[in-house]
Structure 1
Amino acid sequence: MSELPKQADVLIAGAGPAGLALAIELRRLGASPVLIDRRTAAANTSRAAVVHARTMEVLEAAGVAPRLLAEGVKVPTFRIRDRDEALISIDFKKLPSDYPFTLMCPQDRTERVMLDRLHELGGDAFRPAVLRSFRAAPEFVQVTVGEDAADQEIACRWLIGCDGMHSVVREQSGIPFLGSEYQESFVLADVRMDWRLSREEVSLFFSPEGLVVVAPLPDDRFRIVATADVAPETPDAAFVQKVLDARGPRSAPGRIRSVEWSSRFHIHHRVSDTPRKGRVLLCGDAAHVHSPAGGQGMNTGIQDAVLLARALAETLKDGKEARLDAWAQKRHKVAEDVVRLTDRLTRMATMKSGVGRVFRNAAIKLAGTMPAVRDAIAFRLAELNTDEDAS
């Protein structure tokens, strides 16, 4: 790790999508944040892969949105099916946005694009740099950062935790992380396969055995997401094929050719009690975690960060902190709304009762006949329902 400066206006812990977005926007607005990350390199796996319209809007001013477009696949349709029966089709083409689609872009590409932009703006990430502890005072935060025995001290005016679900910043600040864990595991796999349905569609399949999502990725690949009571840590092609056969379409079954990356994880639905405590603020998974249903996680975190950067840049100039309180209040409400939405989607999709599934499917089919309902769902999934200015 290269030597950190001894002072900074802003120290950002965590160089994932939220931390990178925050650093980029602060630099664009004239600030010089210090960005640290415990990893030796940026992400090299796809993990989050959905970029929604609202996220593209907030990244536009920094010049990131056009680069993401070049790296991803535009998908204009989200369709829920019960095996072969289409229940509802959500069309993003009518969104009141310059980005009327879902962009499927693997997280490693998203982070690479953002890091390249940060470099152009004169910034970088200090790696590996572990935030060991901090002491918050009324006028500054004293932070100890290190790797092995080489600890360094840095005094900052503001400390921002973008350091994930197990955030050291959140835990040491004493901010409660309220919620619980789902019983099911989730499986992710990026595969090459023969697939007869359209690559302009993200498909969510219901079945008695559980859900499976199939979404197109760049380079003729697909992302598969599925619930699993029991799954290996790195699911192989045989495991993923078995899931797809049991839950996907019968009339047009997919055939897995290879698995390029896979993972198993447990999910939580939690929201921090507040994203601000004095001179400590939280963004992204440090402030809220939830089911991957709807692809909201990375998007909400990036939006947290960009909007915080805009408020913080002004506060650094005039010292008025009221706008940070306003940001915290608004983003806390957004996080609570997103967690409620993804929790409902997850519980609906993992319903065990046969009678319940019949009523669920009937209700979804009825909603699918109502254009206003379909448009409202598209608007909500695209996260265009927040009231902050994207400019």
Structure 2
Amino acid sequence: MLPTSTDVLVVGAGPTGLAAALTLARRGVGVTVVDRLDRPPVTSRAAVVHAYTLEVLDRIGVGAPLVARGLRSPGFTVRDRDRVLLTLPFGTLPSRHAYALMVSQSVTESVLTAELAAHGVRVLRAHELTGLCRDGAGVLADFAGTTVRARYLVGADGMHSTVRERAGIGFTGPAGGEESFVLADVRVTSTLPRDEVSLFLARSGPLVWAPLPDGVVRLVAAVADAPPEPDAAHLQALLDERGPTRRPDRVREVLWASRFRLRHRIADTFRAGPVLLAGDAGHVHSPAGGQGMNLGVCDAVDLGETLADVLAGGPDTLLDGYAARRRPLAEEVAGFADRLTRLATLPPSRRPARDLLLRLLSAAPPARHRFAMRLSGLSHRERTPR
């Protein structure tokens, strides 16, 4: 049952919404989390938690339990079929988490949900936002006839955000149509390292090969016309087209597979009075480099800490600082992910120069370190206030 009032209403119970709510609950703020789904999804897109995100999750007490559930990856490689063009080792990163953690988003959500419940907050499900009204006291949020009064509302309800739409916040990006991606968890016979993420560059689009615990491999591929439910034959064809050739992978079992479509978009602002955006509600971009969920979780903790400061008596203008910090980071991450995608789809005439550039980068420790810092999110550490 929905409450009649709350200090902060969080709409969306994915990693972003859960992290925002947990940050607030740990600071003693009254927070309510709602989600339109009647149960959490068992399949999910994100499969990597980067070093900086783990540092941020440590601040809200879930870094260690999440690490215990995942697989530590010591490096990242960029490949063109059998050729390794670039190797990025994470072992020299200046972090206590000198690795990328490979873990399904559904596991990340379950860890966050359990910790949130330990602070007395449970997700209220099967409640869909149908309207909101802003006034001098905050927000009135409508859920099919039930109204909740909140001092602040956090929109963490994904790329098709109702909160963003109802608040009248634009969601703009470069001209162009939707991109289509295949996403699957499979078991494969493979000679690729089982603790290392590989990004395969191919003219038809990139293919991400990411190991998960229990021998599972996450495949993500940009596909011009992805089928609604990719089968083993389709996934095998993608591996044959883009993966290793001398010792090709063989799909043994498809645990689940789907497709998703997106356009590159960033919200015009992350704040409209008492309404604030975080995660995919504020930014959507290519999954290359596994940046999306990581940026969303960092948004969430930053926003939760800022809201807690405001509700403890700090000036409301602190929330303008949140919006001013996060939107430029979203633009930077979107550009980085887009560049990784475009590396894959260069025409044949430009690929030799690309391959040479990547090999030079791999052979130059300072440049390789900067790339690893960027991929891990640690380059953002000095640009956030906490």
TM-score band by shorter chain is over 0.9
Q: Are positions 1:152 and 2:152 aligned together?
A: no
In structure 1, the residue matched to 2:121 is 123
Q: Is the 8 A contact 1:73 1:218 kept in 2?
A: yes
Deviations 1:213-264 (A, max 9, x none): 1110111110111121222111111111111011111112111101101111
Deviations 1:161-210 (A, max 9, x none): 00111111111111111114555421111000111121121111123333
Correspondence for 2:74 among 48, 66, 76 = 76
Q: Are positions 1:282 and 2:277 aligned together?
A: yes
Q: Is the 8 A contact 2:24 2:31 kept in 1?
A: yes
AA matched with 2:111: V
Question: Tell me, which stretches of 5 or more residues in structure 2 are unaligned?
Answer: none
What TM-score do you get using the length of structure 1 for normalisation?
0.95
* TM-fit CA distance, 1:390: 7.9
Superposition pairs of residues 1-391 of structure 1, within 5 angstroms: 2=1, 4-146=2-144, 151-180=145-174, 181=176, 184-351=179-346, 353-386=347-380, 387-388=382-383
Secondary structure, in 3 states, of the residue corresponding to 1:89? strand
Question: Within 2, Cα distance between the matches of 1:310 and 1:380?
Answer: 24
AA matched with 2:171: F
Which range moved further: 174-183 or 288-297? 174-183
Secondary structure, in 3 states, of the residue corresponding to 2:264? strand
AA matched with 1:46: S
Q: Which runs of 4+ in 1 moved over 6 A?
A: none
Question: Within 1, Cα distance between the matches of 2:359 and 2:26?
Answer: 46
Question: Within 2, Cα distance between the matches of 1:248 and 1:188?
Answer: 15
Secondary structure, in 3 states, of the residue corresponding to 2:378? coil
Question: Within 2, Cα distance between the matches of 1:267 and 1:122?
Answer: 35
Question: Tell me, which stretches of 5 or more residues in structure 1 are unaligned?
Answer: none
AA matched with 1:5: P
* TM-fit CA distance, 1:267: 2.4
Secondary structure, in 3 states, of the residue corresponding to 1:235? coil
What TM-score do you get using the length of structure 2 for normalisation?
0.97
Question: Within 1, Cα distance between the matches of 2:179 and 2:32?
Answer: 38
Secondary structure, in 3 states, of the residue corresponding to 1:80? strand
* TM-fit CA distance, 1:42: 1.1
AA matched with 1:131: L
AA matched with 2:242: R
Deviations 1:300-325 (A, max 9, x none): 00100101111100100115112111
Q: Is the 8 A contact 1:75 1:102 kept in 2?
A: yes
